[in-house]
Amino acid sequence: MSRGLLLVPLLLVAPAWGAVAQEADDEVPPWERPATEWVAEIEALAQAMRDHNDAADALAEGPPAQADDEQRACVKTHAAGIGALTEVSDASLEKAKEALAAGEVDRATHETRKIMVAESKGASLLEEARLCVQGPRLHRSLRRTRVVYL
């Protein structure tokens, strides 16, 4: 009977452990994958960045009618930042492909990291742009972040 009690927790833990192992496999950086997978991943990240840019442009073109000038300016500022990051991402994509074709792994890795950072920051800026039009309290709180030095 004690063996049965030991097997039950193992049966519950084993599937969860498999999911953790699968998740860890998904987190392998692109530069540790074959070149074809690497290129596919950075192309997907660059496309995600372009999608963020399109969404930000749509927000900037059509903020709600009740949005005030401050909210519109907030959205446009964030959209401009996303646009700049999209340009960086697209340029880095081309440079990474060139570097991979030339066998320059270090340069390709550097450009890939730039794309990854741009996409991450672009997603954050898009969320902030959406908050700009959520209401006056939310978008003003974005500007009033205080830095406390300890």
Kindly tell me the number of DSSP H helices and DSSP E strands found in the chain: 5, 0
CA distance 57 to 126: 10
3-state secondary structure of 113: helix
> Mutual orientation of helices 69-102 and 136-143 as an angle, nearest 10°?
60
Q: What is the pTM of this model?
A: 0.70
Question: What are the domain boundaries of the chain?
Answer: 33-138
Joined together, the tokens standing for residue 31 give 């530069």
Terminal CA-to-CA distance of the chain, rounded, Å?
57
Query: Confidence class of residue 35 from pLDDT cuts 50, 70 and 90?
Result: confident
Q: Which helix (H) or strand (E) holds 46?
A: helix 35-61
pLDDT in tens, 102-129: 999 999 999 999 999 999 999 999 999 9
Do the Cβ atoms of 42 and 93 come closer than 8 Å?
yes
Percentage of the residues of the chain whose pLDDT score is greater than 70: 69
- What CATH code would you report for 33-138? 1.20.120
Question: Coil, strand, or helix at residue 22?
Answer: helix
Query: What are 128-143's pLDDT values in tens digits?
Result: 999 988 865 555 555 5
The reported pLDDT for the residue numbered 10 is 46
